[in-house]
A and B are shown apart, each in its own frame.
Chain A
Amino acid sequence: EAGVAQSPRYKIIEKRQSVAFWCNPISGHATLYWYQQILGQGPKLLIQFQNNGVVDDSQLPKDRFSAERLKGVDSTLKIQPAKLEDSAVYLCASSPPSGIQETQYFGPGTRLLVL
């Protein structure tokens, strides 16, 4: 079974530029999560999708971050414009549609550096 795929793996941009990350969850997984992991910290949830609807985006900085999950499969997270403090690893995770306690499976992450 293929795992969660993310691209790109690394991205370097200058502040005020825009950037987009892509995630393809495990086949059949209804729930998709985007996390931000700043160096030295645990992952922080940015947004959670159930199929193509948003369950929780309370911690998403909506003035600059946006995410979509068209057709309830893959997802894109965008930052526009980027700030220095957005430098982090962006992790995508998915879980099957069995309940809220289901295990999350993580992708390898996209490491973003904003200069």
Chain B
Amino acid sequence: AQSVTQPDIHITVSEGASLELRCNYSYGATPYLFWYVQSPGQGLQLLLKYFSGDTLVQGIKGFEAEFKRSQSSFNLRKPSVHWSDAAEYFCAVGPYNYGQNFVFGPGTRLSVLP
């Protein structure tokens, strides 16, 4: 069964600093990978997704993620963090066959220091 791990429960960075959130997956085939962001009291918003092709994916709000098959990773990055980026970030793997589910990681909470 597919699974997703996010090793960092909580990360704190200073505003303007760079950010990398880690995501590792376990999957039996080419994965379909997603990053979502959840602000307090809100639903999940899609940041970016990877289906195939270029392994570096650009998303909204200046985020990007790189798919590395050899490391089973799909890390999220941003070169300069803004205070409004403080939120919970979820990595997810999507199904490649009917009958399988989307599986979300446990999330990484990002705090931003002024």
Contact = CB atoms under 8 A, between A and B. Distances in A.
Interface of A: 4, 33, 40-45, 48, 55-56, 59, 91, 93, 100-101, 103-109, 111
Given A55-B99, A59-B101, A108-B43, 8 more contacts: A42-B106, A45-B102, A55-B98, A100-B100, A101-B51, A106-B43, A108-B41, A111-B41
B44 A56 contact: no
A109 B43 contact: yes
Nearest to B49: A103
A54 to B, nearest CB: 12
Prevailing SS type, chain A contact patch: loop
B43 A42 contact: no
A44 B43 contact: no
A3 to B, nearest CB: 8
Interface of B: 4, 32, 34, 36, 41-46, 49, 51, 90, 92, 94-102, 104-107
Nearest to A55: B98
Contacts of A41: 106-107
Contacts of A33: 102
Nearest to A44: B104
A59 B49 CA distance: 25
B94 to A, nearest CB: 5
24 contacts: A40-B107, A41-B106, A42-B92, A42-B105, A42-B106, A43-B44, A43-B90, A55-B98, A55-B99, A56-B101, A91-B43, A93-B43, A100-B95, A100-B98, A101-B32, A101-B94, A101-B96, A103-B46, A104-B44, A106-B36, A106-B43, A106-B44, A106-B45, A107-B43
